[in-house]
Each structure stands twice: as C-alpha cells, then as structure tokens.
Amino acid sequence: MKTDTIAAIATGMTPSGIGIIRISGEDAFSIASSVFHKKNKEPLSDYEDHRAYFGYVHDNGTVIDEVILLIFKGPNSFTGEDTAEIQCHGGILMMRKILDLCIRNGARTAGPGEFTKRAFLNGKMDLSEAEAVMDVISSQNDLALKNSVKQLGGSLYKTITDVRNKILFELAYIESALDDPENYDLEGYPEKLSVKLLDILRILEKLADSFDDGRILSEGVRTVILGKPNVGKSSLLNILAGSDRAIVTEIPGTTRDTIEEMINVGGVLLHVIDTAGIRQSDDVVEQIGVRKALDIAKEADLVVLVIDSSSVLSPEDEEILRFIKVNDKKCLILLNKSDLPTVTGVDEIACLTGSRVITISAKDETGIDELKSFITGEYSKGFLKYNDEIFISNARHKEALSSAIESLLCVAKSITEKMPEDFYSIDLTSAYDHLGRIIGVSVDDDVINEIFDKFCMGK
Ligand SMILES: Nc1nc2c(ncn2[C@@H]2O[C@H](COP(=O)(O)OP(=O)(O)OP(=O)(O)O)[C@@H](O)[C@H]2O)c(=O)[nH]1
Ligand SMILES: [Mg+2]
C-alpha cells in the first residue's frame, strides 16, 4: 500500500539561523525536486543517498531561498522512508513558505510525532526508544536528559527484552513438558521456577520503584506554596523565580488563582505553584481559589507552608498544619517577615510539627540560601542514586510494569498452592504481554496514536 508523503518544519518556531523542513514518504524526492534546483539551475534528478546539495528553493522559477538539500534514501533514514530535508534560512515566514510549497506539490502536513511514529512502524526503533525521543526533546535537567538518551539507545528495551526472554523460556519449557512428558520432567520444576521468579521480580520491582524519582527528575518536584492570606507566598515565588511573576500587595486575598513556574534550584527542578491564601471567605471567586489550592496541595511532592512570624499563630495556620498532617504531605515551614519583631518563633512551631522550620524574610531576602540548601539536600540525593542506572519516568511504563509484577505474583501463588503447571502458563503469558506493551510489541493502534500525539510537530 502506498503511504502518503508528510512534511513539517522540524526546527522551532522562533527566528533562528537555520530552519529545517523535513519531507518523508514515497514522493519525498519528487516533491523535493519540484521545489529545488541546483546552483547552476539544473534540476535534481540523480539524488544520491546521504548527499547534501547546495541550491535554491523556487516557486515556478522564482527563487525563494538559498538552501541545502539533504537526501536520505529509505530504509537508511530516521523514518525508514525516503526522506529529504531542506535547510533554509530560519525565519518563520521563510520556513512556512517552503512548507507551503511542499504541500502544494503533493505533501501532507505531518501530525505531531508522525515522523517518529513512522520510524516505529517501520521497525527503526521500539516504542520505549520512540518515547525517549520525546523525552530528550523535553528534558529540563542533565540527569533526565542522560536517562532519556540512554533509553533512546535501547537500555530499557534491553532490560525488558531480557526479562521477556526469561519468561518465554519458562513458557516454552512448561508447554514442552505438558506435550512431551517422557522427555521433559516437571519434577522439582515449581521450586526452580520460584527462584527464577524472585530474580525477575527483583528486577521489575526496582524499575517500578524508580518511577516516583524518575517523574520528579523529568517533571520537577511539585512544590505547592500554602498559607493564609498576606503571609508572603507570592513574594517567595517571585524571589525563587528571580522575577515579578506574581502580583504582591498588602491586601489579603491578592492571589486568587494558582500561578505556576518551573524553577531550577541548584540543579533541582522545582515545579512551584503559588496559591490563594487559605481563609473563610464570602467571595465566590476566592472560595474557588481556596478549594483549588487545597486540591493541588494534596497532589504535591512538597508543601511549603508560609507563616507570618510577626503575628500570632492563627486558627487558619493551625488548620493548614492539620491538613498537611492528615494528608501525610512532606512539608517545609517558612517563618516569613523575620525583619519585623518576632511574635511566633521557631520553638512554637517546632512543637506542633516534625517538619523542618526555616526563618526567612522575603522582603530582605534573608534565609533564602538555607531554603535552597534544604531543597538540594532533599532532592539531589535521588539524582545520585540513578546516575548509572536506568529509571522510568513514564506513567504508561509504570502501569505495564505493575501489571506484569501482579501476574508474576499470581504465578508464585499458584506454585505455593500447588496448582497444576498450566496455571503458571496463563499468568506468565500475561506478564510477557504486559512487558511487551512497554516496547510496543503488543500495543494496539489507539495506544500508539495517543503516544505519538504528544510529540511536537516536525519530529
Ligand atoms: N515586612 C515584610 N513584609 C513582607 C515580607 N514578605 C511579604 N511582605 C509583604 O506582605 C504583603 C503580602 O505579600 P504577598 O506576597 O502578596 O502575600 P501572599 O501570601 O501572596 O498574599 P495573598 O496572595 O493575599 O494570599 C505585601 O505587602 C508584601 O510586601 C517580609 O518578609 N517582610
Ligand atoms: Mg499571593
């Protein structure tokens, strides 16, 4: 079946030195030759593989830009199909004009991730590698990037394939023994299988356990700033962000909706969320803001509770402390406004909570270094742990791993309960399939479409 030919701008949509328009599919070269001629005005007819041609993009003879055209013949290309890349000047209008020209000459605009999807469908990479392409593009810190590049090189694929092969071996052995009991002996087999299962479970559980740290590494520590109105929450966000991100006034109830910012503190990525001050209010908008703040705090990795040290501890402060305790949240307490005479001190708070208490002044920017070293102390430990190992940061992988573990635990249960061997096969097969979903050997089209839809255009 003939597949259509897709085209997209592969570089970012900001003006830059060079822009790349990528064309992939059976008509990639004929479309490229319709819009390109060499410097001496000769048309492109003899496109050699892995060659760069210098020339011009033209629209019916009118030169549009001076470009370099790269030729990759399938299957030796990223997508596995014939692919042409036009490197033009990186103005947004220029890139759009050339893309439009390619479309008018028979290409279709590529959907997000469609080039990588084709690479996957053409067997150029497994699904975990394809997902790593997206992770590499969106990585926001060194270790997340390093992990994605490792995954792109097939490290997760290798671990999962090794485990699947081990499971396949056992499945084949059980089948053979049931078919041919004279030559294959199942005497003592359940005990041997138990030992092997423990080994496999250890590998999978370690990977599954790496998920929370992996997510934090790639998405940042979800840090929610909580406190009653006017204590200095937005002032704190502004200091951490290094800019006036949120409005600060002396009017309680200034922040009504959440404000989010990605902030790098000593190499630790924080996803900081400033929230509306917590209090009882008759104002409907404020009420919604307060409810939203508490909902978001329930999902936080870290709650930063800001308390005004220049006033007495109020019922609202105590209420928030209780909320943090009930929801079992990791918490850091900041006693702000230390430039003013102290009314509520560290000792008073420390006896109410086991959380770390730090005194700061958002006005004078004191105590901020201590706050930053608390963050790096808490979260860069996790980074070191994974320096030379793979970790997973993808919720789909975590879900598949958990299902595989569950199936293997069912095998272990069948062994303990002395069930017949064909019971083992059922659960071993489902563990094998669940793991296959990670590398894309047993996923249906819907899952594949969903994964590639998350990609950016042109990749
Ligand atoms: N003296 C002093 N004033 C501060 C300090 N931090 C914040 N303020 C002042 O306190 C007031 C409230 O600050 P915000 O940062 O808007 O407080 P908030 O907690 O975000 O308030 P809401 O958005 O209303 O919940 C402003 O007038 C700030 O200038 C501080 O460390 N010392
Ligand atoms: Mg505020």
Q: Is the pLDDT of residue 103 over 90?
A: yes
CA-based R_g, the chain, Å? 29
Name 317's Cβ contacts closer than 8 Å, sequence gap at least 6. 227, 228, 307
Fold agreement between 6-110 and 225-381: no
For range 174-200, the mean pLDDT: 87
Task: Give 357-415 as a DSSP string.
Answer: EEE-BTTTTBSHHHHHHHHHHHHHHHHHHTTTS-----HHHHHHHHHHHHHHHHHHHHH
Q: What is the CATH number of domain 225-381?
A: 3.40.50.300
How confident is the model over 337-373, as pLDDT tens digits? 999 999 999 999 988 888 999 999 999 999 999 999 9
3-class SS at 286?
helix
- Identify the nearest ligand to the CA of 236 by its number: 1
Which residue has the CA at smallest separation from atom 21 of ligand 1? 230
Q: Tell me the mean pLDDT in the region 254-281.
A: 91
Ligand 1 pocket (Cβ < 6 Å) reads 227, 229-235, 248-250, 252-255, 276-277, 336-337, 339-340, 361-363
In a mutational test of the pocket of ligand 1, which residue from 224, 226, 248 has the highest number of ligand atoms less than 8 Å from its CB? 248
Cis, peptide link before residue 112, omega less than 30° from 0: no
Question: Alpha helices of 242-352 — where are they, by DSSP H?
Answer: 284-298, 315-326, 346-350
Distance (angstroms) between ligand 1 centre and the Cα of 319 equals: 20
Integer Cα distance of 339 and 24 in angstroms? 63
**Domain map (residue ranges) of the chain:** 6-110, 130-215+394-453, 225-381
pLDDT band, residue 443 (cuts 50/70/90):
low
Task: Compute CA distances 299 → 223, 288, 295, 341, whole Å.
Answer: 9, 17, 7, 35
Q: What is the model's pLDDT at position 437?
A: 86
pLDDT at 130: 82
**Ligand 1 centre distance from Cα of residue 248 (Å):** 6
Q: How far apart are CA 58 and CA 98, in angstroms?
A: 9
Q: Which residue has the tokens 């995954």?
A: 151
Which region among 208-222, 265-279, 280-294 has the lowest average model confidence (pLDDT)? 208-222
- pLDDT confidence of 448, banded at 50, 70, 90? low
- The single-letter code of the amino acid at 435 is L
**Could you report the per-residue pLDDT of 105-148, keeping only the tens digit for each?**
999 999 888 999 899 889 888 888 888 887 777 776 666 777 77
Topology of domain 6-110, per CATH? Gyrase A; domain 2 (3.30.1360)
How far does residue 219's CA lie from ligand 2's centre (Å)? Answer: 24
**Res. 48: pLDDT tops 80:** yes
| Ligand 1 atom closest to Cα of residue 248 | 16
| Res 449: pLDDT | 64
Ligand nearest the Cα of residue 277 is: 1
Q: How many Å separate Cα 346 from the centre of its chain?
A: 38
pLDDT tens figures, 274-305 = 999 999 888 888 889 899 999 999 999 999 99
Q: Of the candidates 421, 235, 426, 400, which has an alpha carbon nearest to the alpha carbon of residue 334?
A: 235
Q: pLDDT tens for residues 400-428?
A: 999 999 999 999 999 999 998 889 989 99
Question: Which mutation among 235, 238, 338 tests ligand 1's pocket best, with the greatest number of atoms within 8 A of CB?
Answer: 235
Give the confidence band of 68 by pLDDT, cuts at 50, 70, 90.
very high
- CA 3, 6, 12: angle at the middle one, nearest 5? 155
Check whether 47 has a pLDDT greater than 90: no
The type of residue at 281 is S
Query: Which protein residue's CA is at the shortest distance from atom 24 of ligand 1?
Result: 253
**Domain over 130-215+394-453 is classified CATH 1.20.120.430:** yes
Q: Closest by alpha carbon to 262, among 140, 395, 384? A: 140
Protein residues near ligand 2, an ion, with CB under 5 A: 233-234, 254-255
Taking the C-alpha atoms of residue 332 and residue 350, their distance in angstroms, rounded to an integer, is 11
**How confident is the model at residue 151, as a pLDDT?**
75
Could you say which ligand is closest to the alpha carbon of residue 341? 1
